[in-house]
Structure 1
Amino acid sequence: MLKRCIIAENRKLHASPIWVMFFVLPLISAAYGTFNYLQNLEILTERWYSLWTQHTLFYSMLFFPAMVSAYAAYLWRLEHMGHNWNLIMAAPVRPFMLFLAKFLIVVKLMCFTQLFVYLLYVICGRVFAGFDDWPPISTFFFMLRGIVGGMAVAAAQLLLAMVIRSFAVPIFLGLVGGILGMLLGSKGYALLWPYCLMQQGMNSNRSNDMLAGNMLPFLLACAVWLGAVFVIAGVMLNKRDVKA
């Protein structure tokens, strides 16, 4: 059942307009981060690490939540048209399998996005910043940790996109969540808000590793938020009836 749902969700991505966002927003983020780094060389002295903070600060706070929100809203768009919810409730598939399939597709898109962001980071460092070496391996692990933290964001945005028929409102809420994540993270409450987890995983605003010695609490928080959203989505889908 899950495999068929994943195949169906994958078909929605063919010639999808979200690919424009996939390419454009990381390019804007990389251009802004590189420009900001080059304009502040007297302050940003840690080369690859400093460039990483500039590339990922606004990306993790604004661009990433917007992109994941758009991915989620686009995948739910068909179900919100007409009476397509009736087809879901009447289909020989558990409704939660549809949610899980959409989650896996968003995670796939998120992984591609993260790899593209990292590729742009390397290119900008070598070409525009003039570095003659390669980035520290730790920055690659920061990117991978961002995927882990981003799963909680993906699940939360899928839940919002499921219950809100509008395409734009979940994206706006994703942006608000990212900004709140930055504020809460700076106050030491990063584990209490899912949007903080992606920012913490990416190590987006510090050169030193924010998760040094705190990896287990970070992973537990990711698992708790992910599990909570899955439970809420499962309960809501099981209680949702066919609409006339």
Structure 2
Amino acid sequence: MLLRCLRAENRKLHASPIWILFFLLPVISAAYGTVNYLGNLGILSASWYALWTQHTLFYSLFFFPTLVAIYASYLWRLEHLGHNWNLIMAAPVPPFALFLAKFFVVVNLVLLTQCWIFLLYCLCGKVFATLPGWPPITLFVFLLRGALGGLSVIALQLLLSMLIRSFAVPIFIALFGGIIGMLAASQDVGLFWPYALMQYGMNSNKSEDMLSGNLFPFFAAYLLWLTVLFCTANLLLTRRDVKS
């Protein structure tokens, strides 16, 4: 049943306009980060780590939440048209399987986005910042941790897009959530806010590792958020029809 839902969700991505945003928004993010790095070489060291802090500052704060929100809203768009919710509730699959299928599809999109972001980072580092060598292996760890921390953002945005018929409103919520995440992380309470977990994982705008010696609370936090959000989605889908 889940595989059937996954195939149906993947078909929505064929020739989808979201691929334009998939390629374009990370390019804009990388451009902002590179320009900011080059404009602050007086206070930043010329290194791959310094360039990473500037790239992740814009990406984690604005562009990642926006992209996830766009992915989630797009995948729920068809269900919010006409009387399609009646078809979902009458389909011979558990309603939560549909939510889970969308989750896995967005996870795949996020992994591709992370790879694209890293390729742009390497390109900017070599071509525009003219940095020697290649990025340290630690940054690959940050990239993977960012994807793990982003799982809670994916689940939350899918839940919001499931409940809210508007395509744009969940995207504005994601932008606001990213800003609150930055403030929460600066006050060392980011583990209590799902949008901050991705910023923690990516070590956004920090020269020292924010999760050094604190990996267990990070993993526990995103697993707890996933559990709460999955249970909430399942409860809403099984106990009542989603209002749209």
| TM tier relative to shorter chain | over 0.9
Question: What amino acid is aligned across from residue 132 of structure 1 in structure 2?
Answer: P
The answer to whether the 8 A contact 2:162-2:242 is kept is no
- Shift of residue 10 of structure 1? 0.1
Give a deviation string over 1:92-144, Cα, whole Å, max 9, x none. Answer: 00000000000000000000000100010011111111112000101111011
- Shift of residue 240 of structure 1? 2.1
- 1:155 corresponds to: 155
The list of structure 1 runs, each at least 4 consecutive aligned residues, that deviate by more than 4 angstroms after superposition, is: none
1:34 aligns with 2:43: no
Percent of aligned pairs sharing the same letter: 65
Give a deviation string over 1:145-174, Cα, whole Å, max 9, x none. Answer: 000000000000000000000000000001
**Alignment TM-score, normalising by the size of structure 2:** 0.98
Question: What amino acid is aligned across from residue 58 of structure 2 in structure 1?
Answer: F
**Secondary structure of residue in 2 paired with 1:129:** coil
CA distance in 1, matches of 2:190, 2:205: 13
> Which sections of structure 1, spanning at least 5 residues, go unmatched?
none
- 1:191 corresponds to: 191
Q: How does 1:99-110 map to 2 (within 5 A)?
A: 99-110=99-110
- 2:216 corresponds to: 216
CA distance in 1, matches of 2:63, 2:132: 29
- 1:133 corresponds to: 133
CA distance in 2, matches of 1:132, 1:177: 36
The answer to whether the 8 A contact 1:89-1:242 is kept is no
Q: 1:108–1:157: structure 2 CA closer, same or farther, 3 Å change rule?
A: same
CA distance in 2, matches of 1:131, 1:111: 26
Q: How does 1:165-184 map to 2 (within 5 A)?
A: 165-184=165-184
- 1:25 corresponds to: 25
- Shift of residue 47 of structure 1? 0.7
> Which sections of structure 2, spanning at least 5 residues, go unmatched?
none
**Alignment TM-score, normalising by the size of structure 1:** 0.98
The answer to whether the 8 A contact 2:46-2:131 is kept is no
How many residues matched?
A: 243
Give a deviation string over 1:161-194, Cα, whole Å, max 9, x none. Answer: 0000000000000101000000111011010000
- 1:121 corresponds to: 121
